[in-house]
C-alpha cells in the first residue's frame, strides 16, 4: 500500500513539474540581444519577471521530488546505483539553479530598475556591476546546465533501460535529452555564449521535460497494473 501511494505521489510530482516547467519556460522571454543593456531594459520593464522565475523554480523542485521517487522505485533493480548517483547530481544541479535564479530573477531586476532610474553618471557604474554579476551568473548557469538537465537524465535514463519495469525507449529518450543538455553545458564552459549552445540547451531541456511527462504516464500505468494484479486474500474455514 505504501509503495503504491509513493508511486502515485511521484506520478503527480512528475506531471505537475513538467507542465509547470513547460508553461513558465514558454512565458519566459528569450531575447536575441545578449548585451547587458538589453537585459537590464528587459528586467526593469517586465511586470512578471519575479513570478516567472518563482514558477520555474517550483517546477524544478517538483521534478526533483519526482526523481527522488523514481530512485526509490528503482532501488531493487540493476540500475539502482545509477539512480542514486543521478539523485546526487540533480540535487547539486537544483541548488545551483536556485542560486542562479535568485540572482537572475530577483537581484538583477533590482539592479535593472536602479540603472534605469539613475543619473547618466551613475548608470555606467550600475552597468559595470550588472555585467560582472551576469558573468558570474553565467558560470553558475553553465554548471547548472551540466548538473540539472544534463548528467542526471543520462544516469536515470540508463537506470530505466537496465530495469525491467519501464519501456526501454523511455530510458533512451532520457539519455538523449541529458546528453544534449550536457553537451550544451560543456560547449558553454569552453566557448562562452554561442547560438549553438543555446540551441542545444533548448532542445535538451525540452526533451528531458517531455521525458518527465512520459515517466509520469509510465508510472501511472504501472501503478494501475499493480493494483489490479493484487487479489484480496480469502480466508477459507474448515469444511
User: How far is CA 194 from its chain centroid?
Assistant: 21
Residue 236 is predicted with a pLDDT of: 39
43-70: pLDDT as tens digits: 888 889 999 999 999 999 999 999 999 9
What's the confidence (pLDDT) of residue 124? 87
The pLDDT value recorded for residue 32 is 75
Phi and psi at 76, nearest 5°, equal -110, 20
Retrieve residue 225's grid coordinates. 497494473
The 10s digit of each residue's pLDDT in 116-129 is 888 888 888 888 88
Instruction: Give the per-residue pLDDT at 225.
Output: 67
- Predicted local distance difference test score (pLDDT) of residue 227: 54
Give the separation between CA 184 and CA 177, rounded to whole angstroms. Answer: 11
239 residues of the chain, pLDDT tens digit each = 557 788 889 999 999 999 999 999 999 887 777 777 888 888 888 889 999 999 999 999 999 999 999 999 999 999 999 999 999 999 999 999 999 999 998 998 888 888 888 888 888 888 888 888 889 999 999 999 999 999 999 999 999 999 988 889 999 999 999 999 999 999 999 999 899 999 999 999 999 999 999 999 998 887 766 555 544 443 334 43
Neighbours of 3 (CB within 10 A): 11
**How does DSSP assign 65-84, residue by residue?**
HHHHHHHHHTTTSTTHHHHH
pLDDT for 238 equals: 43
| pLDDT computed for residue 97 by the predictor | 96
Q: Where are the domains of the chain?
A: 2-225
Q: Which pLDDT score is estimated for 185?
A: 97
What pLDDT, on a 0 to 100 scale, did the predictor assign at position 228?
A: 54
Q: Which three cell numbers stand for residue 82?
A: 545509477
Amino acid at each position: 500500500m505504501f509503495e503504491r501511494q509513493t508511486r502515485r505521489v511521484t506520478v503527480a510530482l512528475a506531471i505537475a513539474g513538467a507542465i509547470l516547467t513547460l508553461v513558465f519556460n514558454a512565458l519566459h522571454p528569450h531575447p536575441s540581444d545578449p548585451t547587458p543593456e538589453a537585459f537590464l531594459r528587459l528586467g526593469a520593464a517586465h511586470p512578471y519577471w519575479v513570478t516567472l522565475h518563482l514558477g520555474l523554480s517550483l517546477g524544478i523542485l517538483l521534478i526533483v521530488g519526482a526523481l527522488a521517487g523514481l530512485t526509490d522505485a528503482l532501488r531493487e533493480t540493476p540500475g539502482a546505483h545509477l539512480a542514486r548517483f543521478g539523485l546526487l547530481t540533480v540535487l547539486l544541479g537544483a541548488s545551483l539553479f536556485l542560486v542562479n535564479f535568485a540572482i537572475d530573477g530577483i537581484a538583477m531586476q533590482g539592479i535593472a530598475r536602479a540603472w534605469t532610474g539613475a543619473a547618466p553618471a551613475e548608470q555606467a557604474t550600475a552597468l559595470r556591476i550588472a555585467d560582472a554579476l551576469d558573468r558570474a551568473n553565467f558560470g553558475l548557469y553553465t554548471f547548472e546546465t551540466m548538473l540539472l538537465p544534463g548528467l542526471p537524465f543520462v544516469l536515470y535514463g540508463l537506470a530505466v533501460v537496465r530495469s525491467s519495469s519501464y519501456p526501454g525507449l523511455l530510458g533512451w529518450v532520457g539519455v538523449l535529452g541529458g546528453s544534449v543538455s550536457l553537451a550544451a553545458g560543456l560547449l558553454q564552459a569552453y566557448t562562452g555564449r554561442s547560438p549553438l549552445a543555446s540551441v542545444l540547451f533548448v532542445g535538451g531541456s525540452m526533451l528531458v521535460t517531455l521525458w518527465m511527462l512520459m515517466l509520469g504516464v509510465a508510472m501511472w500505468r504501472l501503478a494501475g497494473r499493480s493494483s489490479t494484479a493484487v487479489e484480496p486474500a480469502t480466508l477459507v474455514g474448515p469444511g
